[in-house]
Structure 1
Amino acid sequence: MKKNKSIIHLDLDSFFVSVERVRDSRLENRPLIVGGMGDRGVVAAASYETRKFGVHSGMAMKVARQLCPQAVVIKGDSSVYTAHSHLVTEIIKNRVPAFEKASIDEFYADLSGMDKFFGIRKFAHELRETIIKETRLPISFGLSQNKIVSKIATGEAKPNNELYIDNGEEKAFLAPLSAGKIPMVGNKTFQILMNLGIRKIETIQQMPVEMLESVLGKNGRTIWKRANGIDDAPIVPFHERKSISAERTFNRDTIDMVQLNATLVGMAENLAYQLRRGNKLTSSISVKIRYSDFQTVSKQAKIPYTSADHILIPKIEELFKQLYSRRLLIRLIGIKYTGLVGGHYQINLFDDSEEMLRLYNSIDKIRSRFGEHSVVRASTLGGASVGRSENPFNGEPPVVLAHRHF
């Protein structure tokens, strides 16, 4: 007989907004928007007080100001939010045997079996209380037998509360909720469901799975299972060392700075694209140099969570300049991004415009369709990165981006 699990999902409420209120208590209970300051900026986070006016993350700041002119607008500081995220992570890590850090402000943990020692509900409640006490950040959680139901329960518990779904009660809990609350049901899918007359999860529960699958393809089966509270996705343990990397060994040892810089930039942008494609952010970068005498040196730097080329590349170039001091011929250079967590590009919206956001989305779509190297920077043409010799256009040249675009 399969043993029931107890999975908790914790989510910091309006994380960026909450951090700003910890920093300045005068912002408590006031409508607050965090994001880019200019009219072309984008909303990264909005307080609950602004949401009743229609303000939401991803919205143009100009529109948000018009909808809620009384709101206080603050330019976000990703380094501050990264520090607070680390603080919450440490609290959870010290109290839970294994947990998953799903994003900068979202966590899962398997509490199965802990009732033998503490009582799961009591432990979960005390964990939340400890986070609130030590960080002063509001946090909500859902507790059920799987990740999906717990995540939905967290959404229903918000703001700053907790919700427990007993084993066997998953379908009853989900039934009256909007179908749009099922993870992976975005606006487009929800519109398709509404066109079919499906608004509540209960309707999906009553449908044959084949019917939903015929409309939505393989995603239809996943949505049907989630609507019925069925999910066997495991906890993916969080390890600070999780990383992606790239290296380039030159055919001839070199001190050609144009070639070296082009190769660095090429690797940096390719890895950044891999982050965005995998919905990941990095919080630590390192550069490695191997000289012609085979001595290998490296330098690492902590950074605010990001997946943006225009933030990562200058940091990589800066590390290389600090590291390359011997003036010997270089045999190999490498880059590594570590401390990866799940997360959208949203964390970078504080400095960016809608145009920048759209540019990244457009470039990534081209790369997804035609290959990783179908769009390159002008500065990388002087040196081949890993795999760059493979032309995804079968002889057609890649799109070249001039510096001014970034």
Structure 2
Amino acid sequence: MQITKACASLSRGELVIYPTETCYGIAADATNPSAVSRLLKYKGDRHRQVAIAVSDRFMAQKYVSLNEMASNLYQEFLPGPITVISNSLHKLDPRLESSTGTLGVRIPAYPIPLLLIKEFGRPITATSANTSGKKEPYSKDDWEKYTTPDKQKLVSLFLDAGKLADRPTSTVVDTTLNDPAILRQGELILPTLSHNFTTTSPATTQNFATELTHKYLPLTRRFPLILALQGELGVGKTQFVKGVATELGITLNISSPTYTLMREYPYPAGPGLAGPNNLPARPGPIGQSKYSGILYHLDTWRLSDPKELESTLHLKSLLKSGNIVAIEWAGKAAELLKAYEKDVPILVINIKEINVNTRQITYAFSTPEWS
């Protein structure tokens, strides 16, 4: 009876709170722009990406394109507490997608949302029922305690299953990269996912950096981007920044800022945005759209105290939408950078020397879109 009532509410463009295998989530009809607007008004934090929940893989494939990695994750881990990011087929409200045109999909393992989706016949949103900056609710009492009366009025129905077990939120995996990237680590641990890349020359290190920048550059429309570079002296951190500059269309020589502490390179880039090795830009939204800002290249090697990143280099003032801040020897400032995780996308890049020419590069990515 409650499921039927919830379906009726969703059909009217209303919001319904429902239990999941993690915390309580909030559902809107993902095919209804008015319902999505209502959801975003409730959440109050426009920059975070919203996943959808579907009943099965067949429904998922109506809205996303599944590559081999995504297919394997669906087969091995879904239904379950994992959100799989794939390239969107752009059939839903674009506000549910990331800035790179991807869409997160979940198949819940909890019976109530599965029944709800099957009876409703369309995907629902799969985001936690907390409002911006508030605690995820594991009970109705939690929700009432941390949600303002005005926000509560936006919700038509609460499917109350009592107090849920206090579990982490879902693991989020981006399958649109050459190797999958865990954007948020939840209850489900995926230890076999590799983020290792091997380069065999400074040029291939630069090319890898160019490709990685190309992937994440659209985030700079809404955020600054921090590149936290780690590795021993001479391992290729500056070569990596050269590759970043190539993607931004910067033609100035990029040199180490060890003695100057910081260098800056403004970049207006658009239809002429350079690709690898200064070839023309790739076709698609990135090459056709304008990006502008400043590439800041920082080095903490000579800083006696990591706090000088703020007191001397004024890091906070550099973190504006469009700007990219590449920090060499970032490990020295790990604790300081952690404070920015909820507001700024951060790529942590580790470069390790294997031999004279070969480098192993690993990276981890965190983004406010999935915080």
The two structures share one fold, judged by TM-score above 0.5: no
TM-score by length of 2: 0.24
How high is the TM-score relative to the length of structure 1? 0.22
The structure where helix makes up a greater share of residues is 1
